[in-house]
Amino acid sequence: MQENFEIKKLTSFKIGGQIARVYFPETEVDFVEVMAREPQAVVLGNISNVLISDDGYSGAVVLTSGMNNISINGTTVVADCGVKGQKLAQTVAKAGLGGLEFMIGFPGAVGGEVFMNASANGQAISDNFIKARCYCAERGVFELNKEDMKFGYRSSICQEKNIKVLSAEFELEEIGAEKVEARMASCLEFRRSHQPLLNLPNCGSIFKNPSGDSAGRLLDDCGVKNMVQGGVKVWENHANFIVNPNDGSSLDVLELMAKMQGAVEEKFGIKLEPEIIYLGDNNKREEELCKMLYQKTQK
């Protein structure tokens, strides 16, 4: 465990202050021990979909990067929560297994990607998912199958019930390395031409797409591209990305998100729901902004 851990360098946004306590479990047993000590701990993988406050977080965080085994048995693949999407895609490609090509451009790790049912290029984590080993305080370690997971667009039961994903099993298709490599190349090409790479710090899509529409298109129609807030700005090539070229702050990001959300709400009457998660508890203005940004509209 490390105290007062500086998290900034590990985040894809290159933003964030000190975390009071950070744990690095390497096995499921370690993980369960940590959670028994720190039942409120926030579990993070590759910190690619999370905005961490510059004023830090006074609680505990569990980083799963040390839980990174992949095992392949025929067409069945089991990946630990800390395995990076990219590594998983490359490993199964070598084995000639298709179904996870879209993960080649993912900055995140398997746990978070199952948790949010990540998707791209017409494929989703849920497509080839069989089951996951999971953890929650009430039940300890248990398994959830595909039906139990209640996967939706960027959602699963894990979000609703605060369930942590320890590892996930996928059933893939034997299609040969060449075909898998070609599909991966086309996913990467899409990513390179439509989305900022990580040398320009960013956190992926900022808002979820509203049902039947596109957050990027709505934001673009509001003219937010290139809108600047302190050190961050809306990316010039896609209006649903905030990039951080100039060492911006967490407050810069939240203020910009509020402007983006407000513009779409005013013009289209649609309240965009943030996809990225905020972590912090020491900044009043940020808490106010989060209340506004994350509050669901009454139906």
Query: What amino acid positions are annotated as catalytic residues?
Result: 154, 205, 275
Compute the distance between CA of residue 151 and CA of residue 146 in angstroms, rounded to an integer. Answer: 8
Q: Dihedrals φ, ψ of 82, to 5°?
A: -85, 0
Cα 128 from chain centroid (whole Å): 19
| Residue whose CB is less far from ligand EPU, 220 or 281 | 220
Instruction: For the CB of residue 282, give the shortest distance to ligand EPU in the complex, in Å.
Output: 27
* Token pair belonging to 140: 């300890």
Extract the tokens encoding 120. 């791209």
Comparison of 87 and 208: residue with beta carbon closer to ligand EPU: 208
C-alpha to C-alpha distance for 15 and 276, rounded to whole angstroms = 13
Q: Which stretch binds ligand EPU (CB under 6 A): 135-143, 178-186, 204-212, 284-292?
A: 204-212
| Residues 149-178 interacting with ligand EPU (rule: CB under 6 A) | none
User: Cα separation of 115 and 207, whole Å?
Assistant: 17
CB 124 within 8 A of CB 160: no
With respect to ligand EPU, which residue has the nearer C-beta, 10 or 118? 118
Between residue 268 and residue 287, which ones bind ligand EPU under the rule CB under 6 A?
Answer: 275
Phi, psi of 122 (to 5 degrees): 75, 5
Residue 209 contacts ligand EPU per CB under 6 A: yes
**Count of residues engaged in binding ligand EPU, rule: CB under 6 A:** 17
Candidate list 58, 69, 214, 246; residue touching ligand EPU; CB under 6 A: 214
Q: Which is nearer to ligand EPU, 133 or 191 (CB)?
A: 191
CB of 269 to ligand EPU, least distance (A): 19
Which residues between 92 and 151 bind ligand EPU (CB under 6 A)? Answer: 120-121
Task: Examine residue 201 and tell whether it contacts ligand EPU (CB under 6 A).
Answer: no
CB of 232 to ligand EPU, least distance (A): 16
Contact status: 256 vs ligand EPU (CB under 6 A): no
CB of 121 to ligand EPU, least distance (A): 5
Shorter beta-carbon distance to ligand EPU: residue 205 or 250: 205
* C-alpha span between 246 and 248 (Å, rounded): 6
CA–CA distance, 229 with 250 (Å, rounded to integer): 11
Candidate list 16, 216, 248, 280; residue touching ligand EPU; CB under 6 A? 216
Alpha-carbon distance of 212 to 55, in angstroms, equals 37
Does residue 208 interact with ligand EPU by CB under 6 A?
Answer: yes
Q: What angle, rounded to 10 degrees, do the helices at 177-194 and 85-94 form?
A: 150
Is the Cα torsion angle 223, 227, 232, 238 positive or negative in sign?
positive
**Looking at 8, 87, 150, 238, which residue binds ligand EPU (CB under 6 A)?**
238
What CA–CA distance (Å, rounded) separates 178 from 5? 43
The pairing of beta strand 129-136 with beta strand 42-44: unpaired
Q: Does 267 bind ligand EPU (CB under 6 A)?
A: no
**Which residues lie near ligand EPU (CB under 6 A)?**
120-121, 194-195, 204-205, 208-209, 214-217, 220, 238-240, 275
